[in-house]
Every structure is written in structure tokens, then in C-alpha cells.
Structure 1
Amino acid sequence: MKNSIFLHFIIALISFTCLSQTVKGIDYISPFHDGLAAVKKGNMWGFINTEGDLVINFRDDLVTTDFKSQNYPIFKNNRCLISDKKEGITYFGYINKSGETIIKPVFLNASNFKDDTALVILVVKDTIGHNDILNKTVISHNYFEVLINTEGETTHYLTPNPKHITLSKNFVKQPPQFTTQLLSDNLFAVWTDDEKWVIKKLE
């Protein structure tokens, strides 16, 4: 009986301790988006829920979104942008509200989700030949601006013609800029070489 009372006391004490925990040493707290608010400590960001619990621990790979007053990461459609640097080049992907990587960082640029759709720059690798002298396969990289769903599946190609890119940190110092933008569920715009927008329908 005494052991049972003691066990219940320990459980109650642990529960009270967990409930009374506070997130301290915060430099910035963002407004809530999609049920979570970003919190900054030093150079790292995490997320709290509406109960004040730290549901995603502080990490340095969360991508911030530019707002008028402050830049901070946000969740949209249960997805938040992350980045990963490989051989000096930054790639973008997404995590869910558990902090799990749902879409691996493979895109050269990426937007936040809106209505379960995000705009990303997808790199495609093509084998164009073989160098017999160097005994090396010759690879070419091109990219498209595409729309993806929340699982990372490509739903539409917005740029039908690929753009060549040299995947080297000496050439890709910043993410390539988007030349398209999604206007509605069935419309998007493309910035042309004559510096004009062209409105097209999604097919």
C-alpha cells in the first residue's frame, strides 16, 4: 500500500514538474502560424505550441521568412522550410510539426506551402556522354521551376524549358531566383526575357 501511494506521489510530482516547465532565455517570439510560434535563442530557432510547450527543439537549419518587422520560420500546411549545405551549395526541404524531415533538402530554392502547394527549383541530372581521355562520365545539370504537394511530389512544371546550371559553390553562391509565381489554383505568371509578365493556366 505504501509503495502504491509513493508511486502515485512520484507520478504526480513528475506531471507537475512537466506542466510547470517554462521556456527561458528567448530572444524573439513570433506570432502563431498554423498553431505554432517560432522562438529564437541565439542563432537557433525552435517552435512552441499554444500551450507554451517546446514541441520542436532549437536547431540551426530552419529557414526564415521575411516579414516587415522580423524574419522568422513559419509552418504552413504542416510544413516548415529547412536547409542543408552540401559541398558549399544550399538545398531546401521541409519538416513536419514533429520535427521530422518529410521532404528531403534537394531543391535549390523553395517557398512556403500555400493551399498544399509550394514552388520549388528542381535540379535534374543528365548524362550527356563519356570522356575517354579522362575516363569520366560527363554530367550536365539543369533545373525547372515546379509545383509540389505536401509529400514532395511534382504536380506541375511551370518552366517547360530547362535552365542549365553548374553545380559548384563558385557558381551557385545564392539560391537561383524564381521567375514564376502562383496566382491562383489554376493561374501562374512567368517573367520573360523582355522583362514582362505572362499569365498562363495550369494544365
Structure 2
Amino acid sequence: MELKKCKECGATIPDKAKACPKCGCQVDTPKRFGKLWIALGVLALVFIIGGSATYFKTGKSGAGEDSIHKDTTALQTDLVVKLTPEFCKAVRKYNSLSDFKDGFAVVEKGEKWGVIDTEGKEVVPCVYDVVASFYEELAAVCKNDKWGFVNTKGKLAIPCTYDYAFDFSEGLATVMKNGKYGFINKKGEVAIPLKFEECGFFSEGLAYARDKKGDYFINTNGEIKIRLPKDLSLFDGSSYDSSYPTFHNGTCSIVVGDDYNYVINTKGEKVTPPKPQPSAPEPASEYEVFRNDKGLVGVKNIKTNKIVVPAKYSSIGKSARDNNVIELHNGVVVATLDYKEIKDKDEDSTDDEDNIYTRTYDYSIYGYIDMEGNETFTSEDYKLAAEKNSKYEQDKKQWQE
């Protein structure tokens, strides 16, 4: 079973799901030097990169459309990442980096995954095939196609014995074995027997579950509390918006037949959809992303219009779906230096498939930057990216000739 990782909230889902069951966002797993899907044409390439890139590449639209927001809550001193020489040296050994979350970041080394803290210390060793973000101080991990959980000390708290595992929520986590889903507690004990065909996350004491007889909301004892309509759909309007229903402030929105405004309370009663509450105004952003004439991005201070981060990166930060907002995490944000290569013809490809698009591979060098102009990238990183892109342009010209 393959993993898809949510680029918005960090949750993990099985490969059959088309979106994050926790937040509804499409998901993917970050790679630093990883090969992207090969495009069959220009249009296909655009869609594939757009769907599989973990970090959003900002468009050629100039300053003012992309914003960087500082953390909205005051961070503990020990959770602020300082790009010291020691930290920079520590993270250079990793070929993939992700944004920090609550003081931890998932990293990749030699196609194996682990976790570092804000000092760059490897708290979870890079020995796992997959590592998810920490939720309730436990992170789902996969090794040899089996799933378990590690704690923030890096100890395997729950052995890798399951075919799949979701993140913890309200003290319980969905696990799957032999095609059946149930829940375990933080001690690794089975809290709700693995008897369901599908399970979601707990929210306000209830979790979605399905078996051959129907769809339900169950409580933490595994008792059926709400029987959902037979024509329930887990799709919110398109095949890319599949998500498990969850409760928020006592209500849950579901899709029943053609009714996309079907709302129930915690008793399962259909209720009037709550009126949208006016959201608090976004705090004025201190920074904005700009792009130079070479397509590289940097950051400007909005008030002073001064450049705080030069435009020398291929991308800065990760973007939420359908917007261009980029946020700092624990005081830093992931940036990339991208380059392309034209590879030799694949032995399995036909002559019709042998073209510049099928031979072009995209790569990214990952690093961290802050708003003080500090970075973990080295001069060798910039040199490598420049040399690779220069060679790509030469190879591309020869190909076209």
C-alpha cells in the first residue's frame, strides 16, 4: 500500500483515497532530488507538476499576489529555528526537507525518512519508508510495508504490525489489518475492533465508519450512535475532494444524493446549516513574494519596499490549495533550487513516447530560509543547479536541432 501525504495539514492516507481525510486537501509526499512524473505533453506536464509538487511554485505574476505570514501565535524560544552554522551543517545531509510543525520536521536521507528537531538533531532516525507528522505526540511510520507509531523521543511506541495507520485524533488512531479497519489507543491496545471496511478520524467524540450494512458515526467505545443515509457520498463535488465527514461546533456537513447542504447534529438529526460566521480580518502581512525577470523568487518588506530575501530561489514555502499564501513555520520556511535534466531513452518506451517531454526530469534541492536573509543553502548548491540548468538548455537545443 502506497502513501499519500497531505501537503496542507501533514496527515497521511492510503493510496486509494484521493484527498486528505482530515482536511480535504490533495496530498503528496515531498522529494528533494526525486523524479517527477514524466509528462506526455506540455499541458499534461503542467497538470502533473501542479498535482504532485509538494511545494507550490509561485507564478510569474510579480509582487503583491503571494504573501508570507509570520506565525500567528508566539513561539516558545526552543521552537524557533535558528539557522546557525551547526544547524545548516546538520540538515545538509538530507536530500528532502519539509516544513516544521510544532518543532519537528520530516526529512529524507537515502530514500529513508526520519524527523529532526529545531536544532537539526535527528530525533527519529532515517530508517523508515514513510514518516508522518506528529499528532498528539505520536507519528505514524511505515517500515517494510507495515505501520506503527514513534514518539517525540524517536522510540517506536507502537510496533509496525499494521497494514496502514492514520494519525491520532482524540486519543485514538485508525489502523488497518487484513482489509479491516478499527482503532487503537496510545498504548497500542485495540480500542475498537478491526471490523469495519473504512474508518475516519474522531472529532467531538464521534468517528465515521462503514461496513457492508451501511455508514455510521461511532463513539469511542465503538458503539453506533448515528446511522447515516444510504445515499451518503464521501465526495464533496468532484473525484478530487473525497474526505471523511467530521464534526465541528456540534454539526457535520455531509453529501446525501444531490443535497450538498445536508447538515446533521451529534444526534444524527438534520438541522439547518449554520450561518457563516464572519472571519476575523487577516493580519496585515509584513512581507510579499516577488519574482525577477529570470523567474526566481524572493521576499520584500511591504512597508519599506526593501528586499529582505533576494530573488534566487525556484520556490519559497508551501501553498494551501487554491491560494498563494506562504507561511513561516517555527520561524523558517522551505525553499528550493530547481533544475532539469534530459535522460537517456527508457528501454521500455516506444518511439512514439521518445520525446523531450518524456526524457525531461525535474529535481529540487531543498533548504530552509528565514526573513533575515539566512539560509542553509551553500555555494555548491547554487553551482550545481546552475550547471545542471545550463547543460539542460544545451541538450534541449541539440534535441530541437
Provide the rounded CA distance (Å) in 1 between the counterparts of 2:193 and 2:184: 8
Q: CA deviation at 1:178?
A: 3.3
Match of 1:111, SS state, is strand
Deviation at 1:33, TM superposition (A): 0.5
**Aligned Cα RMSD in Å?**
2.8
Q: Which amino acid aligns with 1:40?
A: C
> CA separation in 2, counterparts of 1:182 and 1:75?
14
Count of aligned pairs = 135
Q: 1:186 aligns with which of 250, 258, 272?
A: 250
Write out per-residue CA displacement over residues 43-70 of structure 1, whole angstroms, 9 at most, x where no aligned residue: 122211122221111223333xxxxxxx
**Is residue 80 of structure 1 aligned with residue 80 of structure 2?**
no
**What secondary structure does 2:157 align onto?**
strand
- Which whole-Å CA distance do the structure 1 matches of 2:190 and 2:142 have between them? 20
Amino acid at match of 1:184: H
For residue 156 of structure 1, what is the amino acid of its counterpart?
A: I
Bigger mean CA offset, 149-158 vs 37-46: 37-46
Among 173, 177, 180, which residue is 1:91 paired with? 180
Q: Distance in 1 between matches of 2:246 and 2:194?
A: 22
How many Å separate the matches in 2 of 1:30 and 1:48? Answer: 10
1:92: how far off?
Answer: 1.1
How far residue 121 of structure 1 moved from its aligned partner, in angstroms, is 1.3
- Inter-partner Cα distance in structure 1 for 2:262 and 2:168: 28
The 1-side partners of 2:245 and 2:142 are apart by: 30
Shift of 1:76: 1.1
Flag the structure with more relative contact order, 1 or 2, with Cα contacts below 8 A and sequence separation at least 6.
Answer: 2
Contact 1:146 1:157 in 2 (8 A): yes
Unmatched 5+ stretches in structure 2: 1-123, 236-243, 268-401
> Percent same amino acid among aligned pairs?
24
Q: Structure 2 vs 1, CA of residues 192 and 80 (structure 1 numbering), >3 Å: closer, same or farther? A: closer
* Counterpart among 85, 104, 107 of residue 193 in structure 2: 104
In structure 2, the residue matched to 1:13 is none
CA distance in 1, matches of 2:194, 2:223: 13
Note if contact 1:94-1:102 (Cα within 8 Å) is conserved in structure 2.
Answer: yes
Tell me how far 1:42 sits from its aligned partner: 2.6
More strand by share: 1
TM-score relative to the length of structure 1: 0.56
**Do 1:145 and 1:178's aligned partners in 2 also have CA atoms closer than 8 Å?**
no
Distance across 2 between alignment mates of 1:120 and 1:31: 23
Whole-Å Cα distance in 1 between the matches of residues 192 and 259 of structure 2? 33
User: Which of 113, 127, 133 does residue 25 from structure 1 map onto?
Assistant: 127
Q: Which residue of 1 aligns with 2:354?
A: none
> How many Å separate the matches in 1 of 2:132 and 2:190?
22
Cα deviation, residue 77, structure 1: 1.4
Q: Is residue 2:219 matched to residue 1:149?
A: yes
Deviations 1:146-169 (A, max 9, x none): 11111111222222xx57xxxxxx
1:147 maps to amino acid: F
Map 1:37-186 onto structure 2 (within 5 A). 37-63=139-165, 73-85=166-178, 90-123=179-212, 143-159=213-229, 162=230, 178=234, 181-186=245-250
**What is the TM-score of this pair, normalised by structure 2?**
0.30
Determine the C-alpha separation between the residues in 2 that align with 1:197 and 1:155: 22
Deviation, structure 1 residue 119: 0.7
